[in-house]
Homo-oligomer: A and B are copies of this chain.
Amino acid sequence: MSEEKQQPRRPIECGVPDPMQYMHPVLKANYGNWAWHDRMRPGVLHHVSKTGDEVWTVRAGTQRQMDVYTIRKLCDIADTFAEGHVRFTTRSNIEFMVSSQDKVEPLIGKLTEEGFPVGGTGNSVSMISHTQGWLHCDIPGTDASGVVKSLMDMMHQEFIKEEMPNRVRITTSCCQINCGGQGDIAINVQYTKPPVINHDLVANVCERPAVVARCPVAAIRPAMVNGKATLEVDEKKCICCGACYPPCPPMQINSRESTKIAIWVGGKHSNARSKPTFHKLVMANLPNNPPRWPEVEEVVKKILYAYKENARDWERVGEWIERIGWPKFFDLVDMPFTHHHLDDYRGARTSLNASAHIHF
């Protein structure tokens, strides 16, 4: 292995691989030519092309963070029970395509047997958008894999059934940056206090003007502490956003006491019916409680089942709440409405109810 040092290999800049080489033949043959689809049961999609070709897709959940053994097992199943072609969805579910309906049940049987829940289609709770957390990230407030595993265990039945009013797309984010994105329900780290500065380190580690520039509310200013050039935070101004932390790790925003979990609802990406929306704060200050975050589980469960029991067909979480109103929502889930829910950031004005549209 020493010849490499002498002659480093130049990369082949091949870019994004062509999917056609790996695609299921029926998909390839009908590329851009599909006519309609239906779902015969949870976890299964049935697509019919304009030429009459049919394909059945079986969707199963994975842990996303997979060891090679798990991946190989999925390959074995694909080879034996399906047709050797799979794809992954935007939510880390795996999909097996088969060209005849009789392969569907055995495939489901095998997947279930091997512990891969079949579901995530239609009006189910699909896999949670997953981020890195303690396993890999350099700025995490919690662990994504653990939160996701705990919640998916709790919601397993809702993954394998399609009993929700509409799809439920949940996200997690292990810091306020929100790599997990917006969700019908979102479980995000929330910093509850301004950063605590390790003045000894700032001087060495941080490019101070860059950090000052990063703060959206100009709460950081240069300062001298014990004769060292460091930074200080105006706690009255600070909105606990954590933007200063990645460029300057000595501005510790995380601590056992201050890193909490907040729950958000009503994010929506699709344009179906209503325009896409951002999620909205419901619950803050939940403990960051590994390994199973029971307080978070409890809150998510309440929201999920309030939605399941009260929403109408096709209503996404946010649309349901729009209809019944926020007062009723907070009552149904039995959660507090506080001044923290009132926006006070830029443009807050537009979130005020400037109408006599009132829910009683």
Contact = CB atoms under 8 A, between A and B. Distances in A.
A184 to B, nearest CB: 17
A271 B350 contact: no
Interface string A251-287: 0000000000000000000010001100000000000
A349 B357 CA distance: 24
Interface size of A as a range: 10 to 19
A346 B350 CA distance: 11
Interface in A343-360: 346-347, 349-350, 354-357
Contacts of A356: 271
A182 to B, nearest CB: 12
A165 to B, nearest CB: 22
Query: Does more than half of chain A's interface fall in helix, strand or loop, or is it mixed?
Result: loop
A271 B347 contact: no
Interface string A322-360: 000000000000000000000000110110001111000
A271 B355 CA distance: 7
Nearest to A355: B275
Contact of A347 (B275, B350, B355, B357): B350
Contacts of A349: 347
Interface in A211-269: none
Contact of A357 (B275, B346, B350): B275
Interface string A124-151: 0000000000000000000000000000
Nearest to A351: B350
Contact of A271 (B275, B346, B357): B357
